[in-house]
Amino acid sequence: MAKKAEEKGFTPTGVVYKSTKLPKPTSKTHDKLGLKKKDLLNLYDSMYRQRRFEERAAQMYQKGKFGGFLHLYIGQEAISTGVVHALNDDDDLITAYRDHGFALARGATSDECMAELFGKATGISNGKGGSMHYFKLEKHFWGGHAIVGAHIPLAAGLAFANKYNDSDRVAVCFFGDGAVDQGALNETFNMAQLWKLPVIFVVENNGYSMGTAVERHSAGDLHKRGDAYGMKNDIVNGMDVFTIIEKFQEVAKDVRKNQEPWFLEIRTYRYRGHSMSDPGNYRTKDELEEFKQSDPIERLKTYVLDKKLVKQEELDEINKKIDKEVLDAIDFAEESDFPEPEALFQHVYVEDDFPFVK
């Protein structure tokens, strides 16, 4: 019998890769993390909503309802859900192009998220951003960014603004393992440590940069990049929502208190290809099935049922509610209008007088 993913690690070519082995999840139970029944139901609600939204989005894409790129978050839902639970509502979040899960976890509606995919004016970015550029200022969600690593300096800017304004807010920046090799990351790490910025940098290491295994594009354990800058760092199991909550509560508290950056490597796994055009031929079906044994939704479901914290009927009710919600979101998106031509000139930055230009 094949060992579980936590024991074996990523094996795209039959080689056991040490640096992509999932670390052990936390041993803390829900009560030790301060989680009540309501919290457990909310965690399940958030993860299931993200999963169903992404599955329906994929179906709509395949039906030709919208075009462009579509990067799904299926398998990684414990990260967005756990982080949002652990942080304050006014902490700043910024991420890359696999952004639907974070927007939904932070409180964006299924309606506005689906409408954005369809390019409609009722979308979360008014139909102008599409899949990779979700944005919701009132939720302190700063996007959705398509260029690999380009948003990492922006996170430092958010953190600098918080520090300059004597705020206790922290900025949290997510990016994929491919972004770790971008020059902008190293430049930002340097400045963040020099200026002691309250920012948490997080690499979601799902094992592959598009179709290239992490062991083939990055040398060494990714979180240890922080050592070069004297930056606190650690590695976290991203398939267990309790582990995410525990670590981010700890790190956010430290960042607020000491006003200095952290770098976390979250080891996780995406079930679908890099994007909808990716058949995933670089990995085996056995590998995928191994990681599904650590499915974050099933882990939480098994936990709450085994400990008799919630009833199956309560989870079924959440499933039913969200299934309808996401289907209704598709109807909402299809019935919504496209942006008017005049919208092309809205939300465009322009300055008539540039004082630094002579």
Domains in the chain (CATH in brackets) are: 31-336 (3.40.50.970)
- Each residue of 119-178: pLDDT tens digit? 999 999 999 999 999 999 999 999 999 999 999 999 999 999 999 999 999 999 999 998
The span from the CA of 274 to the CA of 286, in Å, is: 18
In Å, how far are 102, 135, 274 from 88, measured between CA atoms? 14, 18, 30
> Please, what is the Cα angle at 111 between 108 and 117, to 5 degrees?
95
The span from the CA of 175 to the CA of 182, in Å, is: 11
pTM attached to this predicted model: 0.90
Nearest to 303 by CA among 67, 41, 50, 19: 41
Nearest to 108 by CA among 136, 71, 72: 136
- The enclosing H or E element of 252 equals helix 241-258
The span from the CA of 11 to the CA of 180, in Å, is: 21
Q: Are 147 and 176 in contact (CB under 8 A)?
A: no
Compute the mean pLDDT over every residue in the chain, rounded to the nearest whole number.
90
pLDDT for the residue numbered 11: 42
The span from the CA of 114 to the CA of 120, in Å, is: 9
- Each residue of 302-356: pLDDT tens digit? 999 999 999 999 999 999 999 999 999 999 999 999 999 999 888 887 777 766 6
- The enclosing H or E element of 215 equals helix 214-217
266 SS3 class? strand
The secondary structure of 137-165 as a DSSP string is GGGTB-----STTTTHHHHHHHHHHHHHT
pLDDT for the residue numbered 356: 63
pLDDT for the residue numbered 12: 39
| Mean pLDDT within 257-264 | 97
Give the least confident one: 7-11, 237-241, 330-334: 7-11
pLDDT for the residue numbered 218: 78
Q: Tell me the HSE value of 14 on the side-chain side, using a 13 A CA sphere.
A: 0
- Each residue of 57-68: pLDDT tens digit? 999 999 999 999
Strands (E), 281-342: none
Torsional sign, CA 56, 207, 135, 352: negative
235 SS3 class? strand
| Mean pLDDT within 225-235 | 95
